[in-house]
Chains A and B, each alone.
Chain A
Amino acid sequence: MTWVSDHWNEIFTLARSHVWLSGLPLILGLVIALPLGWAARRWSRIYPVLISTSGLLYTIPSLALFIIMPIILGTQVLDPVNVVVAMTIYTVALLVRTVADGLGSVPDHVLQAARAMGYGGLRRFVGVELPLAVPVIAAGLRVAAVSNVSIVSVASLVGISQLGNLMTDGYARLIYSEIIAGLVACVVLALVFDGLILLAQRLLTPWLPAQGGRA
């Protein structure tokens, strides 16, 4: 425990970059997955294509993807952009299906009612379908958040610093409490993300009773 109190600043700095490396892809991924999920719903032929493509992308091991990224992007090996893009790919892969299924969960009679009230096209999507799909999308986002936080720690093996550094460094220098500190910090961070998404979901869906926090 003394290790933790001695290195508080370092942990904080690493945690901050961990937040960036896992949080930014979460937002980017959501922004990309929304139109893709919508398209998958709109044209049923695209659905299987998008779902299987995202399944394949998610299959690629994270460490391998971090290392391949520079070839694709033309970046330096030590560029944090590699990690952000790789994590965005994973997030999109997870969320496309969730968004499509979430939009699909909006009952037909609601859509018809919206149409009868004059809602069409983009306005119906933003005003009716998306809000009703929030619970499903938020659930997917929570899964993605937890998995992002865990996967990002692997990036310390390719020299991108974040909380995973505590684990690699602790292992290299045989400092047990450093590894544990990294582990705990990651879990705490995952819980924070989880809580924030849950909070956002409550705020976005005030008509739903507050329940089912921990599924």
Chain B
Amino acid sequence: MTSTADKATTQAVETVSLTIDGAEVTVPKGTLIIRAAEQVGIDIPRFCDHPLLKPAGACRQCLVDVAAPDREGNVRPFPKPQASCTMTVMDGMIVNTQHSSDTAAKAQEGVMELLLINHPLDCPVCDKGGECPLQNQAMSNGRTESRFIDVKRVFEKPLSLSSQILLDRERCILCQRCTRFSKEIAGDAFIDLQNRGAMQQIGTFNEDVLEFDGYEPIGVAAEDESGRAFSSYYSGNTIQICPVGALTSASYRFRSRPFDLVSSPGISEHDSSGAAIRTDHRRGKILRRLADNDPVVNEEWITDKDRFAFSWQNLNDRITRPLVRGEDGELHESSWPDALAAAAKGLRAAITGDEAQGAAVLPGGRVTLEDAYAYQKFARTVLGTNDVDIRTRTASDEEQDFLGSSVAAKGMGVTFADLEKAPAVLLAGFEPEDEGGIVFLRLHKSTGKQQVFSIAPFLTRGAEKLNATLLPTAPGGEGKALAAVKGSTDAAEALKEDGAIIVVGERLAGSPGAFTQALALAKRTGAKLAWIPRRAGERGALEAGALPGLLPGARAVTEASARTAVAQAWGVDSLPEAAGRGAAQIIADAEAGKVDALIVGGVTPSDLTGDLQAAIERTPFVLSLEVRRSEAAEAADVVLPVAPPSEKSGTFVNWEGRLRGFATALKTDAMSDHRVLDILARELGVHLGTGTVAEVSQQLGSLGAAAAKERPAAPKVDAPKVDAKPGAELILAAWHQLVDEGALQDGEPYLAGTGRTSVARLSRKTADAVGIQDGLVTVSTEFGSLELPVAITDMIDGVVWVPAKSPGSWVAQELGVEPGARVTVKGGI
């Protein structure tokens, strides 16, 4: 299926042959018995075993009878049953499971009975009841009745490990899947075993449980800035792999029974990884989301945002019918025909007549490939403009040239598997844990085998977990920092190794010359280059051409032959020649009254430094395609409801360039943006041909990629020298935390509670220079200010870091500037 799989099969693998329950099986050397049994369809009951975690051998449920050849080759039985989850196969081994050995069956039955003596057997009220490995295996491998008549161990319940994760200790069978996940996979050892024997229990550091009795612990647990033990971005996975109902989530607890749920596979809309998810719903309502198993992308893990942030689409501000602004100046529900007519009228007025200043389109970065395609085709064929840009974030022309020349329409480039195998990875303008989610997990898998370098103002906790080396850089200085990776520097040497990768994030767009230098560095070292944006729609929109200078397939708008090719495919005479304006320019021009109509998709004004709200108010006609009555929708003239990802089908293209198609989970009347635009175009007399996903796929397929000469040239921009010094004016650094106040996390307070505390980070030297010891600091620009607790951090001097959109720290809205700008920092008030 993938290049990785191909490589694996071509390598000669040393195999061994053994017999399991009389069936001959040949598996690679080093395979565990339990895995080998799976190969021949024999299911051995298990709890602690998990294919992606290291063997523990703790639960003892998977005991089997084993005989193996000794040194002379005589097959001799082991005197006692062996844990099939820890023992590797041997040539000539004979394994008898519970199906063919009384010893194994009896051993398993005994372990099951022991597991259940202290289990509350509260299945009727347990979230896991109905999908519980303990329940299932108790039925298949247990006694019908318990002989335990004594007193069960009890615990206070539930213990809240975080605002989201709750632990019922008496249900726990101490398989350690959660603690092993936290240590091995997420690197967040925020839970561990405590106490011993029958009182052994999982928990966060707890002096009472540990019976410290007046002693002080030595050293401190990893803490966040609030002083609490650290919670993890990946904690929800522990709930999913818990083989009993010990770990539950506050948002799902007691809400549903698994057998009432309908499960639909899907793709997460939260980041560019395209993680496979499963949406579980009941009577048209989403109850929970789980990780789906996709070995090439997210394996079996997702971030907590992927898992828990879904209520945004079903809050009470959901739009189900079109809205049209009436004579009274208010939005009123309207019929589709009336709303479409009003929209068509407004748009037509903006593009017809000599005085018309034209329309512009801001689809937002969370659109699917099909939606992005429809937006740009609508702009170019209906509105006659290239003013379409999904980049409602920091963006630049250099970035567009970089994407057009080196990323778009290149198919699959660097993959997750490549990241895992890379001997060295250089990160620039990209924080894998905050901005990549699953990317972090893949890199973390190779910690110890991989050198990671991070061009950033400081080592985040995520980067620290990757054992990364910091190349301290102030925002704006990334270009020079990339240029400095040369000669015999450690980073340059490491990147010369076969398979090394340079990862650039979308934030580099705010740093002139950075993309130019990244390309040069890739060329210089032979390392592969990967662009990992944050939002789920970015790569798809890039492929679809929803950028002002790029047509579908990475064709440059300014290339006549490219325009001709696309025009022909679309059956139109010509396409607008002038390169369009970027999102920021569109907003600025609209605010200045130079745009007559705006089409706004899922854009949140508070994410933008430009004043979108003012732009909307100033623009004569604004059409909003929205799921919710957002700020933008509230200010629009016509609002057409569109479907959230769970109610539509479509494709996200993840950062690898992998198409991540998904089907409709919940069937509702809601329509995708591409279908709404198709209908609207018809109202305006144009056949857009984007009514269905199939139509769009067919068009994108036939358009194909640009010829080499049709692409934009690679950027050549000089990187400025950035002078970061402690003083009155500091350089602002900011990026989004994975869990923050993004619009798609609305309505999920339990998740929000696991977010990291907002702080302003300063180096000791920088703080001293402005006379800050501790307490609150004020970060201000001419536009506004933020007040945050200071966290003295080992970081580059002359820079202040704040989270981009966390509680109390909405940088774009409050400071009105992008990272790299100069800000003033003062001590507490």
A-B complex is real: no
